[in-house]
Amino acid sequence: MRVTQFSVKEKYRYQGGFDSYLESEATPGALPIGQNSPQKPPLGLYAEKLSGTAFTAPRHENKQTWLYRILPSCSHPPFTELPAESTPESLTGGKLHYIPNQLRWDPFDHASSKATDFVSGLHLLAGAGDPTLKQGLGIYIYAAAKSMDEHSAFYSSDGDLLLVPQEGALDIRTEFGWLLVRPMEICVIPRGVRYQVRLADENQPARGYALELYQGHFLLPELGPIGSNGLANARDFQAPVASFSEDFGATAFDGSTSYTVTAKFNNTLFTTTQPHTPFDVVAWHGNYYPYKYDLGRFNTIGSISYDHPDPSIFTVLTAPSDHVGTAIADFVIFPPRWLVGEDTFRPPWYHRNTMSEFMGLIQGGYDAKKGGSGGFVPGGASLHNVMSGHGPDADSYEGARNAELKPAKVGDGSCAFMFESCFMVGVTEWGLKRCQKVQEAYSEHSWGRVKVHWGRKGGDSKGHLLE
């Protein structure tokens, strides 16, 4: 069955499709007919446009949605920058350290305090570029012990956020409606969309990974000679249906209720308090919206003759750069799959890459790395930066080199993933030191015992000399 069997039951309805033009109304008649901004929108609502691209972006790239809401999102007092002591340094990152060493982390800690919610539990681990120039990306670890306050919301002006839960299901309320996002699902929340992250089970802390895309948006990869179907199919992506609250005063500023909105703006947090809910969108239509995807539905492609293909065949989503075929960020998974290659070293080969490779493990094991203490285990991560050599550890190599080559199912009950980027990625002080999770002996344990199998003994090669 090509659907993940989740322990947390789905409780919401969704619309299907990727990059589709969708519409939804929680109250019949809330959407205007034949125009976007009538003089008096239906039901006394306000029309508000949310643009994810420039107005004049080409039609096939243009991202926008019309929202029909009880009060416009601009109806709030000015934002105030949070004082330095209230802004986690782990979120702002500070100086990035660019180093060529291979890095691996033990599983990151769960939230250290029961007062830690999704926003206060975000830690910038690595990144590149500058959100003020809309260039680059940020890689995060999140850990939350409680839901965000029901009278709060968060949004980022810096980029689209891809969430990869590893433990604990997230019950996410957005301006567009609700998303239940469980381990083995991902979701993308576009730049500027207000949302609130709750724990589906308050007794189950949440932990996971995230990538913030400072430039562009995620797309499905081109399929080329694969054909018209395969990898992540568009119909399996799910977007919310409209859902709203009516918690507001007689006017936008009458002070009868209080909601805190936190904005991330150039990796700095700002807050404002408004007397009405930000979740008051009664209807919407457009192609700029949050969505989720069940990784169990991925249609894995592989070799049925020989050799291990490039891992790009496992790409779920890509954010292309201006150079064709080169990504700002690819989201790649390594799900359960059959290996049948003849006379083939079946795990991923040894590699040096012009791209940076950040890997995490959602569940289970990974066929090219050993688990256990000091290994690559769920909740941990690794980073192999630009041109940093990497590949199977010594034990995994010897096992695969000597394995009986019969059809084999690998990865049952497991799923690793990779954020791959054309950028050289820097690591924060939190990621290198303060998290205290770096495996200092990673290189030695992985490749310090790699054996010499060279068969020719003695002498030097003379192949460079003319006879």
Which residues carry a binding-site annotation for homogentisate?
366, 390
CA angle 417, 444, 386 (to 5 degrees): 50
Are 181 and 216 in contact by the 8 Å Cβ rule? The answer is: no
Active-site choice (76, 97, 285, 308)? 308
Task: Tell me how far apart the alpha carbons of residues 105 and 384 are, in angstroms, rounded to a whole number.
Answer: 12
| Residues annotated in a binding site | 351, 357, 366, 390
Task: Tell me how far apart the alpha carbons of residues 154 and 130 are, in angstroms, rounded to a whole number.
Answer: 21
Q: Is 308 a catalytic residue?
A: yes
Task: Tell me how far apart the alpha carbons of residues 206 and 109 are, in angstroms, rounded to a whole number.
Answer: 11
Which residues are tagged catalytic?
A: 308
